[in-house]
């Protein structure tokens, strides 16, 4: 299975995603330059984390107009898998692939730490190797991660099981929902209506090896393989 990882000016997790796919999964990956109009036959598109275009105007607002995004959107409309991580989630929202927006953290602080997540839907092409209700340890690193949408959108996301990951924990380390960034409904990750686009603020590609703190992110990538029958 071939993963195409888009490099925007300011992307900084493209290499992490490449490592995750090639070293940990043993699959093939290629970098896709944002100025190109060529997905190079990639099966999965990864919109990686970082600070595309310096987060000017709004995080992801300029990157969504990069030439390659027209091809990424067409790939998504055809049902092709798209994994947007952190800045990639912000870009996917700006591009209209996912509803809502990611706003400045409620604390106004940049947060870089391991957080606990709960798998809310294990029946997606990105989460079928997890159990529903399973708890994961995956790091976040962002300043603009407060998921925000209107009530109607939130009701639809909830009703259709499209909230895939939620933050839990908090200062008391309890198993209750808690937003480190003020995200509505403690939302950490959602899928689109067709289920082929996942946006998540936490970084599964940085949780690929227990030696580095956690291997809980591996199955996001493995799930895509098993769905494809690889």
Partner 1 sequence: MNRYRIAVHITPRRGILDPQGRTVADALHTLGFTDVRDVHVGRHIVVELDAKDESTARDATRAMCEKLLANPVTEDYEIASVEGDG
Nearer to partner 1, 102 or 224 (CB): 102
Binds partner 1 by CB under 8 A, chosen from 100, 139, 143, 199: 100
Q: Residue by residue, what is the 3-state secondary structure of the chain?
A: CEEEEEECCCECCHHHHHHHHHHHCCCEEEEEECCCCCCCCCCEEEECCECHHHHCCCCCCCHHHCHHHHHHHHHHHCCCCEEEECHHHHHHHHCCCCCCEEECCCCCCCEEEEEEEEECCCCCCCCCCCCCCCEEEEEEEECCCEEECCHHHHHHHHHCCCEEEEEECCCCCCCCECCCCCCHHHEEEEECCCCCEEEECCCHHHCCEHHHCECCCHHHHHHHHHHHCC
Nearest CA among 101, 107, 100, 80 for reference residue 171: 107
Residue 152 within binding range of partner 1, rule CB under 8 A:
no
Count of residues interacting with partner 1 (CB under 8 A): 20
Residue 198 within binding range of partner 1, rule CB under 8 A:
no
Binds partner 1 by CB under 8 A, chosen from 30, 182, 185, 209: 182
Give the shortest CB-204-to-partner 1 separation in angstroms: 25
Give the shortest CB-168-to-partner 1 separation in angstroms: 21
Residue 61 within binding range of partner 1, rule CB under 8 A:
yes
Residue 146 within binding range of partner 1, rule CB under 8 A:
yes
The one catalytic residue in 13, 75, 86, 93 is 86
Per-residue CA distances from 45 to 32, 83, 105 (Å): 9, 6, 27
Residue 150 within binding range of partner 1, rule CB under 8 A:
yes
Active-site residue, 86 included: yes
Residue 185 within binding range of partner 1, rule CB under 8 A:
no
Nearer to partner 1, 59 or 117 (CB): 59
Nearer to partner 1, 128 or 148 (CB): 148
Active-site residue, 34 included: no
Active-site residue, 13 included: no
Q: Please list the active-site residues.
A: 86, 203, 205
Binding site for partner 1 (CB under 8 A): 57-58, 61, 65, 93-94, 99-101, 103-108, 146, 148-150, 182
């Amino acid at each position: 299975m071939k993963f195409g990882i888009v490099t925007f000016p300011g992307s900084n997790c493209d290499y992490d995603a490449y490592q995750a796919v090639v070293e940990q999964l043993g699959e093939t990956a290629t970098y896709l330059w944002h100025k190109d109009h060529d997905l190079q036959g990639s099966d999965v598109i990864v919109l990686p984390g970082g600070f595309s275009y310096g987060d000017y105007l709004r995080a992801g607002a300029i990157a969504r107009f990069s030439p390659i995004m027209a091809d990424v959107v067409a790939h998504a409309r055809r049902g092709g898998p798209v994994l947007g991580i952190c800045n990639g989630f912000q870009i996917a929202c700006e591009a209209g692939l996912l509803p809502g927006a990611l706003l400045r953290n409620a604390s106004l602080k940049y947060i870089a730490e391991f957080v606990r997540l709960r798998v809310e839907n294990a029946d997606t092409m990105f989460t079928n190797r997890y159990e529903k209700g399973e708890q994961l340890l995956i790091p976040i690193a962002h300043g603009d991660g407060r998921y925000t949408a209107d009530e109607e959108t939130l009701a639809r996301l909830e009703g259709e099981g499209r909230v895939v990951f939620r933050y839990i924990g908090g200062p008391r380390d309890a198993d209750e929902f808690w937003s480190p960034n003020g995200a509505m409904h403690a939302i950490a990750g959602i899928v689109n209506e067709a289920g082929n686009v996942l946006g998540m603020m936490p970084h599964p590609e940085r949780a690929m090896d227990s030696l580095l703190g956690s291997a809980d992110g591996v199955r996001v990538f493995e799930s895509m393989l098993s769905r494809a029958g690889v």
